[in-house]
Structure 1
Amino acid sequence: MAKPQEKVSFGQRLKQIGMVFSFTAKQDRWFVPLAIVAVLVPLALAVLAALVWGWQWFPIGILVALLALLVVLNLRSNRAMMNAAEGQPGAAASLLENMRGDWRVTPAVSATTQMDMVHLVVGRPGVILLGEGNPQRVRSLLGQEKRRLAKVIGTAPLYDYVVGQGEDELPIRKLRTTLVRLPGRLKGPEVNALDKRLKALSARPQMPKGAIPKNMRPPKGAFRQMRGR
């Protein structure tokens, strides 16, 4: 059962907005000029309207200016966050974990020591694999995961993407819209059942690769004794 969300006070909300404002201003050189324009234009129109039709228009101008500022902040902050996340390991999984909707994200179901990784996403469209890192190594990991998952997903659709800026790669700023536009072919119970099967598959212990350490090898003659029983 999900825990109820804690209520955020007005002061905390203002502090969060201030942090987003500061972050966006550092990342986006156009944010401050656009924010100034978004505030000054409604205020100027409100003053003009107040001089012509009465001062009751001035409070309306203030509200419109605040609304315009929040719209600019929302648009430019999203752009700034996408630019900051570009090329960061695990950015795609972090982005999807905070995305609205029924998305079951398992970060780094497969990875290498060079920080190449594949994330598993289960949702209404089906099963989605997202690769981040070196394209050649990531495509190899994606191939391995597709073969592994094909045994348990049945007829559920399977999509795979390499997140990056190269040819045939998906830019991280387009990740949300790309997944949202995928056709929803599974219903809620089907998503739950598929998610459980995939979690059970990931929970199975795997034999370590390579030679068995000497301290874990059975004593000589053990296999002959077992066959002779």
Structure 2
Amino acid sequence: MNQIKQIIQTFNVTRQHDPSVVPAVALGAGGALVLCLVLGFVLGPLLLWIPLALFAMIATALIILGRKAQSASLAAIEGQAGAAAAVLQSMRGAWEITPAVAFNRREDMIHLAVGPPGVVLVAEGTSPARVKQLMAKERRRFDRAAGEVPVTEVLVGDGEDQVELKKLAFHMAKLPRAIKPKEVGPLNRKLSALKASAPPMPKGPQMRRAPKKYR
């Protein structure tokens, strides 16, 4: 029952930000149902295809809802300070995320992500030039501490050589692997001395994770 309530809540919240979720879910689920029933008529026996059709309809609806919910969450936080940190913290897998290991009064921030690619410094801010200066300073610190583990820079934004917020999680997942998942924790602890006292993060909308059933 709790999962059903969570799905209904996710649907209602998503519909407020993106009304197209209603026709998208309806068309997708309906299309899956019709396709399975047509296959049942053609290949038979139809009675065996009916349960499969119902399962396909529900699964398709949940997949579409999950993707729409993620897009709505990104739209809600985009442009806010700390938005990149929210996306990083929503990632699945062997990642250790520390928001705002470096920051300034203009809300430029460097976030630390330790994972299979090694050390990844993710920067966000309103001025690319200012963010690059902050990144260069932090890169030197983490290069010394990381030793032979690679340190990768990622700048979040819409400009050249930057990664859009909506593509950040995908970009992180595609980075070349450098260390094993079991090495992530020890490396993160090794770098803990370099972590600054994080500023208070904004209380705006947070990145919401889709329920496990349709992630």
- Secondary structure at the aligned position of 1:165 is classed as coil
Matched letter for residue 117 of structure 2: P
Please show how residues 166-185 of structure 1 align to structure 2 within 5 Å.
166-185=159-178
Contact 1:131–1:162, Cα closer than 8 Å, also in 2: yes
- Higher-Rg member (1/2): 1
Q: Unpaired runs of 5+ in structure 2?
A: 198-215
Contact 1:46–1:61, Cα closer than 8 Å, also in 2: yes
Q: Unpaired runs of 5+ in structure 1?
A: 1-10, 205-229
Aligned to 2:19: 29
* Counterpart pick for 2:78 among 79, 83, 86: 86
Distance 1:37 1:96 in 2: 32
Q: Specify which structure has the bigger relative contact order, considering alpha-carbon pairs within 8 angstroms and separated by 6 or more residues.
A: 2
Q: TM-score, normalised by structure 1?
A: 0.73
Q: TM-score, normalised by structure 2?
A: 0.78
Return closer, same or farther for 1:47/1:124 CA change in 2, 3 Å cut-off.
closer
Matched, 1:162 2:155: yes
- Secondary structure at the aligned position of 1:152 is classed as helix
Give the number of equivalent residue pairs: 194
Please show how residues 108-187 of structure 1 align to structure 2 within 5 Å.
108-134=100-126, 135-187=128-180
Percent of counterpart pairs with the same letter?
Answer: 37
Aligned to 2:96: 104
Distance 1:183 1:49 in 2: 42
Contact 2:101–2:196, Cα closer than 8 Å, also in 1: no
For residue 127 of structure 1, report the CA deviation from its aligned partner: 0.9
Please show how residues 66-85 of structure 1 align to structure 2 within 5 Å.
66-85=58-77
